[in-house]
Structure 1
Amino acid sequence: MSMPSAAQPHPSPTTRLLALLDRFDDLPSARRLRADTYELLAAAPGARVLDVGCGTGRAVSELAARGVRAEGADIDPEALALARARHPGPPFLRAAAAELPYADGSLDGYRADKVYHALENPARAAAEAHRVLRPGGRIVLVGQDWDTLVLDSDAPRLTRRLVHARADRVPSPRAARAYRGLLLDAGFTDVTVEVRTDVHTGTEMLPLITGIAEAARATGAFGSAEVRDWLAEQRRRAETDRLFLALPLFLAAATR
């Protein structure tokens, strides 16, 4: 008689998010975008650059490989533990974007990738970035606008409602479209903004689509059957090579 196996603990929300980000960051388009952010930072070898909301530290490691004195900051201890395990060497510290433990003008570069939408007050983070950068230092922001995610569906009206319901559960879902204003208001100059649209037609975005459905269901504003059927349609599309998801990513850069 075999003994029943012990129940496996459910992964934490942070673990699920980091796994999703790992898959996304491995995509060729994500690699190209990261490389472009490094170019926009214009950090010379030896320059001190902070990656805010560094997650598991991939960008910090890539910047360090370019000869930059790269450091990472994040508020999540689980993410920081993974960053330190994966990338021993660069400093990783626990800090909030609006309260960075750096002296005025002590950094040459500042980078935040998919961070500002998760903040209650992105303007405070932009002001803090201005404080810690030296005159002439560079800031680069990357992020998605949660209201402008595009999904093909046989139920377009329901899809629009689901996307907006998911956006409403994000602290600052439209922060990316406000990057230019945030940077100007914080005192930055030479502000540039461009939009890169990633198109996904495979299964790699099913966790994101599932998250949209789960977040919408949690609002109580949708029937369980309609959300279940919508998600089943998206899975069928992925299985038959008919899924279409377009994700606009906003890339902003400026000078202190």
Structure 2
Amino acid sequence: MDVNQTTGRTSADTDALVKLLDIGDAMPGASELRARSYELLGVAPDAAVVDVGCGAGRAVAEMAERGARAVGVDPDERMIEVGRERWPAAEFRLADAYTLPFADGEFQGYRAEKVFHVLDDPARAVDEARRVLVPGGRIVLVGQDWDTMVIDSDDAALTRAIVHARADLVAKPRVVRGSRNLLLDGGFADVTIEIHTRVHTDATMVPVLVNSAEKARAAGTVSDARVDAWIAEQRERGERGRLFFALPMFVIAATRR
């Protein structure tokens, strides 16, 4: 079984992640959130922008449609394959956030969505972002705080346990809380932070909740029986249109000094 040495994922893992990303991209408000990130980034015709941790490449394609010279970067070879299959006219490169294959000052914009929480050293990634940006260039980071998923359930204590167990499996689950200082320390100015909260009440997000519960189960945090009951409850709520899942997304933008 081939395992990506950078991400630790197999091709099957990546394909499963692509499915979850597709669910996220189709959620109400997701396209508007991406559009807001492009606005803050200053995407314009002929502007050079890089999307780091680009995944399956939707944002790369959308920024290219706006006339930008958009390049997608991801450390997962299978993810790059998917991006090229879906968006054959877009440009993709295999690389990680710490060693971008670009010259100093090559870009006017740097974007990373749902990326910094998986990095062991976000400050190093910020240094690399500053390197590839021109003075006055823009950086936009989009992500969640993994402790702030709000889920209605008959068992509040179990829900807290699942949310926190899932967060603890992430390298930097609370990185957005420190993003302002991270950017200021990394040579950026004019930092702004927006919060866009999505509320979901139907079955669309059940796979995401099931994924979190299964991760908690695999970590040995909660018993099989309790996880099974919780998943059954969330599926039943989704079927009846009685689900409640709120996910605050943070959009942090700044200017390279």
Q: Same fold (TM over 0.5)?
A: yes
| TM-score normalised by structure 1 residue count | 0.94
Q: Once the two structures are superposed, what CA deviation does each residue of 1:119-146 show, in whole Å capped at 9, x if it has no partner?
A: 1111111111011100010000000111
Cα contact 1:24–1:204 (8 A) shared by 2: no
Match of 2:66 in 1: 66
Q: Once the two structures are superposed, what CA deviation does each residue of 1:138-177 show, in whole Å capped at 9, x if it has no partner?
A: 0000001111101001000110011000000011111122
Cα contact 2:204–2:238 (8 A) shared by 1: no
Q: Could you tell me how far apart the structure 2 residues matched to 1:82 and 1:215 are?
A: 24
Match of 1:138 in 2: 138
- Whether 1:158 aligns to 2:175 is no
Q: Once the two structures are superposed, what CA deviation does each residue of 1:208-246 show, in whole Å capped at 9, x if it has no partner?
A: 111111111112232111111111111111111111000
* Cα gap change, 1:11 to 1:236, in 2 (>3 Å): farther
Q: Could you tell me how far apart the structure 2 residues matched to 1:188 and 1:133 are?
A: 11
Shift of residue 183, structure 1, vs aligned partner? 0.8
Specify the SS of the correspondent of 1:60: helix
Cα contact 2:43–2:66 (8 A) shared by 1: no
Q: Cα RMSD over matched residues?
A: 1.3
- Whether 1:96 aligns to 2:112 is no
Match of 2:250 in 1: 250
Cα contact 1:195–1:250 (8 A) shared by 2: yes
Shift of residue 94, structure 1, vs aligned partner? 0.5
Match of 1:241 in 2: 241
Specify the SS of the correspondent of 1:148: coil
Q: Once the two structures are superposed, what CA deviation does each residue of 1:54-79 show, in whole Å capped at 9, x if it has no partner?
A: 11111111111111000000011111
Cα contact 1:192–1:253 (8 A) shared by 2: yes
Structure 1 window deviating more from structure 2 (20-29 vs 127-136): it is: 20-29
Q: Could you tell me how far apart the structure 1 residues matched to 2:13 and 2:91 are?
A: 25
Q: Could you tell me how far apart the structure 2 residues matched to 1:197 and 1:39 are?
A: 18
Paired residues in the alignment total 247
Q: Could you tell me how far apart the structure 1 residues matched to 2:221 and 2:51 are?
A: 37
Q: Could you tell me how far apart the structure 2 residues matched to 1:20 and 1:58 are?
A: 14
Cα contact 1:110–1:140 (8 A) shared by 2: yes
Gaps of 5+ in 2: 1-9
The 5-angstrom pairing of residues 1-256 of structure 1 reads 12-256=12-256
Aligned structure 1 segments of 4 or more residues deviating by more than 4 angstroms = none
Q: Could you tell me how far apart the structure 2 residues matched to 1:95 and 1:64 are?
A: 20
Specify the SS of the correspondent of 1:252: strand
Q: Could you tell me how far apart the structure 2 residues matched to 1:239 and 1:86 are?
A: 31
| TM-score normalised by structure 2 residue count | 0.93
Letter in structure 1 aligned against 2:171: P
Q: Could you tell me how far apart the structure 2 residues matched to 1:28 and 1:228 are?
A: 28
Specify the SS of the correspondent of 2:134: strand
